[in-house]
Amino acid sequence: MTWKLGAKGKLIISFLLAFAWLTALSPLSATDTYYSVYLLCGLAGMLCMWEQFRNPRECPQGHKKWLLGFSALFSLAVVLGNYELFEPLSVLENLLDWVLCLAGGVCVGYPIVLWMDTRIPRQTRISRREHPGRVFWGMFLAVAAVDLAYLFFARYPGVLTTDSLTTLQQLLGDEAYNNMMPFWHTMTVKVFVELGLLIFGDINAAVALFHCAQILFLAACFGYAVKTMYEIGLPRWALMAVFLLFAVQPYNIAYSVTLWKDIPFAGAVLLFITALYRILKSVGTKNYGPLILGAAGMSLWRTNGLLAFGVTFLVLALLLRKSQPRLLKVMLGVLVACWFLMYPFLTLLGIGQTHFVEVLSIPLQQIARVITQGRTLTPEQTDLLGQILILDRVAQVYDPLTVDPIKYEAFQYGNQEYFLNHLWEYGKLYLQLGLTYPADYLKAWIDETKGYWNGGYFFWIYTQGIHENVYGLVASYGRNPVASLYAALFRYVEKLEILQPFTSIGLQVWAIVSCTLVNALKKRKELVLGIPLIVLAAGLWIGTPVYAEFRYAYPFFLAAPFLIAVTVWEKK
């Protein structure tokens, strides 16, 4: 006689494991980790379990293994990202918590993606709407008004950090151009700064002019996305939610007046995937202009953007080579042009590319962890590492959350030629240490990248003011009711734990990957919208210098609302 577990029994066990998952992670509520994100996922998983119990639906054949695989990766990410909760695993209680957390994570993740697979997309009730132009201009003007008021009443002439000043130094001729600060972003800033100097004769007004242009560009990208969601028939409450995310979220307001390459780059990513969706789904007309502008901005304004665009083109070429020849020809033209501008053209101008040390963030951090832990090194390994690192400094400056102290205080830049001439030896050394001390390598990678795939952390998101400089850039705003209103909004939003999911990088990444997976399983064209975002995320997983830098992940926060919306709803 065989004993089968009924639907009610499975529900009870799944609920208990999900509860055990939340309990095992509950100590995180007293740390810098966003426990609210896990709580949100746990509650969502339980609701989806209940829905599946009441209205059971079978996922199509072959989908289940993919959904289970995604759920297992989600669970593993949570356990690895919080490995300190389960150390040492030799203690029976810790081992039991580890096993229960792994099982509970699957029980949380699987019902959510199963619900997505069996219950979406949902057809919108409205097949045609009459006034998309009004929606675009309403969104554009509302966002522009909010951000321009912030610029002129609370942050004039804008926010400038050391990175911002490096860009200004290059375009004003005080430092040679290089692609560490992407050259084409610097050229974009230069157009508006030089125009501002010509018109106003003042560097503060010139920088403010660039920020005005950036505000208008972002407002147009937001308006284009919301207009698209309006045209495919999204319910008004969903449109209002996206409007509030774009217009009122403090990080969107603060970033609109900050001179960083990451800001217009994120807008370009949103513009590109919106235009791509409109072309693939035949929404409206005249979409190729925004597509080209978004693709060019994505490819030229940040060094990893060209790779993301290239991979997206390859996926489209494999899936839609027969049905979208015009789209592929346009994208190929943009890809070739941007590649030429990024590499051969910059070489002709004598402009250097990104320093190779930037690519070695994770390996440097892993080797530094081995040294910091006092692991045994052979004389040959010590001698080889001593050629590029000040070994006595490594343990003193090592920070598990960022590689910058190692790069700037322990790496011997004067010996980089020696490193390049002995790449094979250093490659072998890296593999040897990894095979000898795999736990150190794994923990170093987790601590350096966890912000981009785990729940979320309290880490600075935006900054304020102007860094000390020699150009006469000074903050020129005083106390006024408008500035006080913005300050109150920022403080209020920061204090509400219920809003932490909206600043969780990991949650946005999980949402993007799950939407892409479900769209792929359903063979929907929407799957290509997630490709550039996943490529950008993977780049952070293998080469980030800081564990949870929000601005590096800003494209996810702008694109995720649109990607989720077009995954959940489909035009009638």
CA distances from 281 to 374, 524, 563, 571 (A): 58, 10, 14, 9
Cα–Cα distance, 241 to 243 (Å, whole number): 5
Residue 171 tokens read as 């375009």
pLDDT at residue 2 in the model = 45
Residues in the chain: 572
Distance CA 508, CA 245 (A): 14
CA separation, residue 317 to residues 282, 303, 327, 521 (Å): 18, 23, 10, 18
Name which of 513, 536, 540 is nearest 451 in CA terms. Answer: 540
- pLDDT tens for 39-57 read 999 999 999 999 999 999 9
Supply the mean pLDDT for the chain.
93
Report which of 29, 42, 43, 127 is spatially closest to residue 82, judged by C-alpha positions.
29
Q: Are 403 and 448 spatial neighbours (Cβ–Cβ below 8 Å)?
A: yes
Which residues of the chain, if any, have pLDDT below 50? 1-3
Residue type, 482: V
| Backbone torsion region of residue 523, taken as left when φ is above 0, otherwise alpha when ψ lies between -120 and 50, otherwise beta | left
Contact status, residue 37 vs residue 501, Cβ threshold 8 Å? yes
Q: Give the helix/strand (H/E) hosting 122.
A: strand 122-123
Q: Over 14-63, what HEC string results? A: HHHHHHHHHHHHHHHHHCCECHHHHHHHHHHHHHHHHHHHHCCCCCCCCH
Work out the burial of residue 298: count CB atoms within 10 Å of its CB; fewer than 13 is exposed, 13-18 middle, 19 or more buried: buried
Q: Where are the alpha helices (DSSP H) in 155-202?
A: 162-171, 183-200
Query: In a 10 Å sphere around its CB, with 0-12 CB exposed, 13-18 middle and 19+ buried, how is residue 421 labelled?
Result: exposed
Q: What is the pLDDT of residues 427-451, one digit of tens each?
A: 999 999 999 999 999 999 999 999 9
pLDDT of residue 317: 95
Query: Nearest CA to 261 among 213, 298, 312?
Result: 298
What is the pLDDT at residue 418?
Answer: 87
Q: In angstroms, how far is CA 38 from the centroid of its own chain?
A: 19
Supply the pLDDT for residue 127: 66
Asked if 534 and 513 count as a contact pair (C-beta separation under 8 A), the reply is yes
**Secondary structure of residue 202 in the 3-state scheme:** coil
Distance CA 339, CA 345 (A): 9
pLDDT at 144: 98
DSSP assignment letter at 258: B
Distance separating the N- and C-terminal Cα atoms of the chain:
51
Contacts with 178 (C-beta within 8 Å, 6 or more apart), sequence order: 170, 351, 352, 353
